[in-house]
Amino acid sequence: MSVGTVAVVGSVNQDLHLRLDALPLPGETVLARRLARGPGGKGANQAVAVARHGGASQLIGAVGRDFTGDSLLRLLKDAGVGVQHVRAVPGTQTGTAVVMVDDHGENAIVVASEANMALDPEHVRLSLQSIGDIAVVLTQAEVSMECIAAAAEFAAATQARFILNLAPYTAISTELLRSCDPLIVNEIEAAALSEALGIPHPAGGDADPVLATELAKHCLSVIVTLGAHGAFYSDGNHSGHVPAPKVKVVDTTGAGDAFVGAVAAHLADHHDLVASCSAGIEAGAYAVQHEGAQP
């Protein structure tokens, strides 16, 4: 079987990267040791991760008609991502994320969506129709829910696999949830979604595997990422845990996106959920050892 394309419907941002001794508390002013600019956005990050795992990666998104947008598209092309379906939208700016990273590699991120929210579902539909040979449609919650729904509808109509990384967490319909294969969420997003679905949240160390199993009842499959503790997966019939290797953490920014992109690339290459989840763990562990989202 041939390897199909991974079509990524998602955001493109410039990251403003601040290195700090410690993340600021509410009302606190702190001094950054360093400011750096780099490429980011969950859609762009995941599209790059797909390409770096040998997948045919096509990004559908939007930037502003500005120097930042042009620069980010050049970097994406250099990384092997197809960008002909990324719109340059007049009258808006390219999205920007302020990423604060402390000495332990932990981060806090604020995103100004700008052009990402100018992406419209009709452009998503037309772009997906024109790409061809799509095995996986991958999206995240940094674009509008209408665009996410358009991506899911296309996947259902063409029997492509639909992956939703529900990050940042946002309310989602049960109908859309049922099409996710897999739904990928971290512990915080899993807890928020389980509360919205009325799933009891168990106490103690058994919470994560129980949540993964319960969430899998509402979608085709699910992966709950646990950072340094790996990930749980479930497809309703089989559930399990993939541990993460111990590594020196430099910066956790983009680690989740590296995980998701690796999972998508391996699923498009006909690997099963367990093998794809393992590839995602390896990618995330590698990513945390480097600064920035895409490098």
Segment 65-122, tens digit of pLDDT: 999 999 999 999 999 999 999 999 999 999 998 989 888 888 888 889 999 999 999 9
Q: How far apart are CA 295 and CA 285, in angstroms?
A: 14
Answer whether 69's CB lies under 8 Å from 88's CB: yes
What is the tens place of the pLDDT at every residue in 180-197? 999 999 989 998 999 999
pLDDT at 282 over 60: yes
Whether residue 292 has pLDDT greater than 50: yes
Round to whole Å and give the CA distance between 291 and 253.
7
* pLDDT score of 1: 42
CA distance 266 to 279: 7
Active-site annotation, residues: 257
* 227-262 confidence digits (pLDDT tens): 888 999 999 888 899 988 787 776 666 688 999 999
CATH class given for the domain over 5-11+41-88+120-287: alpha beta
Average pLDDT over residues 162-173: 96
For residue 64, what are the CA distances in angstroms to 115, 117, 233?
6, 11, 37
Q: What mean pLDDT comes out for the span 265-277?
A: 94
In the chain, where are the structural domains located? 5-11+41-88+120-287
Structure tokens at 62: 């939007």
